[in-house]
Amino acid sequence: MFGHIFKYRFKSMIRCFDVIFWTLAFPLLLSLFFYFGFGSFFESKEQFHVIPAAVVVEKENPYISQLFEELSVKGEDQMLELTFTDREEAERLLSDEKVEGIFTEGDELGLIFKKNGLSQSILKAIADNYAQVSALIKERAVSDPAEAAFMLQSITEDISLNKEITYTGGNMDSMLQYFYALLAMTCLYGSFSGLINAEQLQANLSPLAARKVAAPAHRMKMILGEFSASVLLQTAIIFIVILFLRFVLGIDFGNRFLPVIPLAFAGSILGVSFGFFIGCIGKASAQLKNYLMIAACMVLSFLSGLMIGDIKMWLERSCPIINRLNPAALIADAFYSLNIYDSYGRYLANLAGILIYAAVFCIGGFMLARRKKYASL
Amino acid sequence: MAETIVRIENLVKRYKELVALDHLNLEIKEGEVFGLLGPNGSGKTTAINCLLSLLKYDKGKIQVFGRPMEPDTYESKRNIGVVMQNVAVFEELTVYENIDYFCGLYVTSKAERKNMVEEAIDFVGLQEFRKFYPKKLSGGLLRRLNIACGIAHRPRLIIMDEPTVAVDPQSRNKILEGILKLNSQGATIIYTSHYMEEVEQICSRIAIMDKGQVIALGTKEELKKMIKEGETIQVDLMELSEEALTEIGKMPHVYSAVYEDNLLTVRCSGGRHNVIRILNYLQEQGVSFGQVYTKLPTLNDIFLEITGKELRD
């Protein structure tokens, strides 16, 4: 009986335009919108590691020249794209934002930049590192030229570490927040199938439900069969969205795939049970409940950074409790933690929060739906 | 004597101030096509929903197959087929899948179910539409699908709540023929309707309901005997004198004679040769007449006489 109910619920959901549109097509369309909307970001991200800078040679310095040579070698590790020019031209390039900063080569390595940012921080780190070791380099160059060369190389390596901040293979791009929020929204949109389940299980909400209640099917088997089918479908949809983002749009979420499985599963349970719970409350029309649910999903997704990426950071500073309580923020943060942090602590804390929400909605929904007789139909 | 399949005793159901069922008593025997006839709001569907244990009720007892009917009386439910007033099918499943789904809630064996579903499709004549989705079906075909979903598991008791609402005459006839066929195959049918012609046509016993009560119960013939009107005769006349009208009113078995708008309407309480007697009298009086109509009493007349209002009010 469970298998029979499960099979047909899965079939009917997969063919339901509303469910497939809102839970699958809409997130995919939104991801495309984000992708093309942030197109310039993704292009610039590719050049992020290669920072354009101008060099004004005031006095030839072989150590600095060697450093520049190492940092601008073409290939995967190239860090700087250098333009050797005079000061006037360099300043023009800087004011036109064609370069991020100007190095001055002389006895010392000087640096001029106009604004602050990650690129400028890296340029400054190069200049600072050189300043720290330059005296030693000059000293060793006489006694031990090999050691001097090694020290120069160490500057390059130190700077390289600045690029590889994460231990997870993921990246720190702030734009990814939008995609984490999008995945959270996809999970919450599982509530569409949860709501349909509720409508079709309670005799006072639809003739179809009344017909099902009149059948000799055990109430809990019916509820669980339909719920499980919806959760499975929603989990599959989340994976389709993740795979689309990763392999079609090329969004890098890091290399931790296994922990995504329980996260997607828990997110699906949360979404479906949320819709089921709303569907089971009161006798309001299905349409009204639908509107309420969409509004709730949109507000929660908004607060998790779907429309304004920085809102989550702003809330974290001004009212962190909202981030702790918002289920969409928990899901988005769980994806973020997986991508960024070496340890699983934050991911597990988020996962626990998601499961607690899911349990509350499940228990509430099941308690309301287990009714077998109704005061009116 | 046939076994009592459904017994409803003193059933009371209130919706706040409104009494939807007022000490309803019914007994339905195996093999009957039992009609529940009444105007909209008379309590037919409420009675069915209480019988199916979907609705809570305030008072009374319901027994089906000799057992008290409760939501988890699965053994009894397994032998009941339900055809709801509103079409209750999945929009996203095909005709075949819908029937298989509902049949599967009653019959777990897949092989057994396959035959049952095929039979149900044949029975309602949806062979050509088995792969159609409900939205592609006309109103009549949709109703037939609704019936197939209710009967595929071969229930002993089939409850049909207004299954022909908004159905074209052709589909309606098919449905009614189907119900009689199911009955001939051994199923007991409870059929609710506000279409008296349908109930007259197929039901072996009829309960007429009004305001949550059974106001008349019996076979069609028994019900018609309950009222004094046996026959209504109408004659087109160009003119009729007051004297002649009074004479007609005094004839045997005649209890009312009215002449209005060139139409003489004579109501008789039974008896034979009423038409011939009236026409002979008119001829004797030299009154020329046009068309003559006679009408036997309908269930509506019974309802009218008992409640003072039309069944379709």
Residue where one domain finishes, among candidates B164, B196, B225? B225
pLDDT at B203: 92
Q: Are strands B33-37 and B188-193 parallel, antiparallel or unpaired?
A: parallel
Question: In angstroms, rounded to a whole number, what is the distance separating the alpha carbons of residues A66 and A54?
Answer: 16
Residue where one domain finishes, among candidates B206, B225, B244? B225
Amino acid at B289: F
Please give the residue of chain B at the shortest CA–CA distance from A6: B101
Which positions 313-372 of A are in contact with B (Cβ < 8 Å)? 372
- Binned at pLDDT 50, 70 and 90, residue A164 comes out as very low
Helix runs in A244-369, H state only: 260-280, 286-303, 311-318, 320-325, 327-340, 345-369
Answer yes or no: do A377 and B105 touch at CB < 8 A. no
Is the domain of B238 the same as that of B105?
no
Q: Are strands B254-260 and A109-112 parallel, antiparallel or unpaired?
A: unpaired
Question: In angstroms, rounded to a whole number, what is the distance separating the alpha carbons of residues A82 and A67?
Answer: 12
- Binned at pLDDT 50, 70 and 90, residue A348 comes out as very high
- Count CB-CB contacts under 10 A for residue A35: 19
Handedness of CA B163, B166, B168, B169 (dihedral sign): positive
Cα–Cα distances in angstroms (integers) from residue A169 to residues A335, A347, B245, in the given order? 13, 16, 107
Is the domain of B147 the same as that of B286?
no
Lowest mean pLDDT among A103-112, A333-342, B115-124, B251-260: A333-342
Is the domain of B210 the same as that of B244?
no
B113 in a structural domain:
yes
pLDDT at A14: 94
Percent above pLDDT 70 for chain A:
86
Instruction: Write out pLDDT tens, residues B248-282.
Output: 999 888 888 999 988 999 988 766 788 888 999 99
pLDDT at B178: 87
Number of domains chain B contains: 2
pLDDT at B97: 96
Instruction: Write out pLDDT tens, residues A2-55.
Output: 899 999 999 999 999 988 999 999 999 998 888 887 765 555 444 456 888 999
pLDDT at A216: 92
Is the domain of B67 the same as that of B185?
yes
pLDDT at A188: 92
Helix runs in chain B, H state only: 44-51, 74-77, 95-104, 110-124, 139-151, 169-184, 196-202, 220-225, 242-249, 274-284, 299-307
Question: In angstroms, rounded to a whole number, what is the distance separating the alpha carbons of residues A214 and B86?
Answer: 14
The closest of B267, B273, B281 to B234, measured between CA atoms, is B267
pLDDT at B142: 92
pLDDT at A166: 46
Identify the CATH number of the domain in which residue B277 sits. Answer: 3.30.70.100
Tokens of A272: 């479906």
Tokens of B10: 């003193």
pLDDT of A367 over the 90 cut: no
DSSP one-letter string for A58-108: SS--HHHHHHHHHHT-SSTT--EEEEE--HHHHHHHHHTTSSSEEEEESSS
The 8-class DSSP code of residue B44 comes to: H
B181 in a structural domain:
yes
- Count CB-CB contacts under 10 A for residue A235: 21
Answer yes or no: do A1 and B149 touch at CB < 8 A. no
Contact A234, A187 (CB under 8 A): yes
Q: Of the segments A64-68, B133-137, B214-218, B292-296, which one has the largest average pLDDT value?
A: B133-137
Q: Is A374 on the interface with B (CB under 8 A)?
A: yes
The C-alpha of A196 sits at a distance from chain B's nearest C-alpha, in angstroms, of 11
Amino acid at B242: E
pLDDT of A169 over the 60 cut: no
Chain A partners of B102 at a C-beta cutoff of 8 Å?
Answer: 211, 215
Residue B67 pairs in a beta bridge with B64
Cα–Cα–Cα angle for A196, A200, A205, rounded to 5 degrees: 100
pLDDT of A276 over the 80 cut: yes
Mean pLDDT, rounded, of chain B: 89
Q: Which CATH number fits domain A49-163: 3.40.190, 1.20.58, 3.40.1130, 1.10.3470?
A: 3.40.190
Cα–Cα distances in angstroms (integers) from residue A147 to residues A46, A61, A144, A156, in the given order? 34, 18, 5, 15
Is the domain of B95 the same as that of B241?
no
Please give the residue of chain B at the shortest CA–CA distance from A208: B88
3-state secondary structure of B59: strand
- Binned at pLDDT 50, 70 and 90, residue A167 comes out as very low
pLDDT of A148 over the 70 cut: no
Contact B119, B101 (CB under 8 A): no
Contact A96, A139 (CB under 8 A): no
Chain A partners of B71 at a C-beta cutoff of 8 Å?
Answer: 213, 219, 372-373
Query: Is the overall model pTM greater than 0.80, yes or no?
Result: no
Question: In angstroms, rounded to a whole number, what is the distance separating the alpha carbons of residues B300 and A110?
Answer: 107
Q: Which residues of B97-118 are buried (b: 16+ CB within 10 A; e: fewer)?
A: bbbbbbbbbbbeeeeebeebbb
Ranges of CATH 3.40.190 domains, chain A? 49-163
Q: Which secondary structure element, helix H or strand E, spans residue B27, and what is its range?
A: strand B18-29
Is the domain of B173 the same as that of B286?
no
Mean pLDDT, rounded, of chain A: 83
Of residues A331 and A147, more confidently modeled: A331
Is the domain of B210 the same as that of B243?
no
Residues near A32 by Cβ (< 8 Å), separated by ≥ 6?
Answer: A249
pLDDT of A274 over the 90 cut: yes
The whole-number average pLDDT for the span A97-123 is 84
Is the domain of B194 the same as that of B243?
no
B86 in a structural domain:
yes
Is the domain of B118 the same as that of B249?
no
Lowest mean pLDDT among A306-315, B133-142, B206-215, B278-287: A306-315
B211 in a structural domain:
yes
Amino acid at B196: M
pLDDT at A165: 45
Tokens of A243: 């795979």
Tokens of B137: 């079906």
Residues near B132 by Cβ (< 8 Å), separated by ≥ 6?
Answer: B94, B95
Is the domain of B128 the same as that of B160?
yes
Instruction: Write out pLDDT tens, residues B286-307.
Output: 888 888 988 877 777 777 777 7
Question: In angstroms, rounded to a whole number, what is the distance separating the alpha carbons of residues B160 and B162?
Answer: 6
Identify the CATH number of the domain in which residue B86 sits. Answer: 3.40.50.300
Q: Is B296 on the interface with A (CB under 8 A)?
A: no
Chain B partners of A211 at a C-beta cutoff of 8 Å?
Answer: 82, 84, 88, 102, 149
Q: Of the segments A32-46, A188-202, B165-179, which one has the largest average pLDDT value?
A: A188-202
B55 in a structural domain:
yes
pLDDT at A28: 93
Tokens of B131: 């792969």
Instruction: Write out pLDDT tens, residues B46-56.
Output: 999 999 999 99
Q: Is A9 on the interface with B (CB under 8 A)?
A: no
- In a mutational test of the A interface, the residue from B58, B92, B95, B97 whose CB has the highest number of chain A CBs within 10 Å is B92
Residue where one domain finishes, among candidates B225, B258, B279? B225
Amino acid at A34: F
Is the domain of B24 the same as that of B145?
yes
Is the domain of B102 the same as that of B245?
no
pLDDT at B166: 76
Lowest mean pLDDT among A78-82, A230-234, A354-358, B246-250: A78-82
Of A12, A210, A376, the CB nearest to B90: A12
B310 in a structural domain:
no
B78 in a structural domain:
yes
Q: How far is CA A35 from the centre of its chain?
A: 13
Q: How many CA atoms lie within 13 Å of A185's alpha carbon, on the beta-carbon side?
A: 29
Instruction: Write out pLDDT tens, residues B15-42.
Output: 988 999 999 999 999 999 999 988 888 8
Task: State which residues form the domain around B14.
Answer: 4-225
Q: How far is CA A67 from the centre of its chain?
A: 36
Of B55, B74, B93, the CB nearest to A216: B74
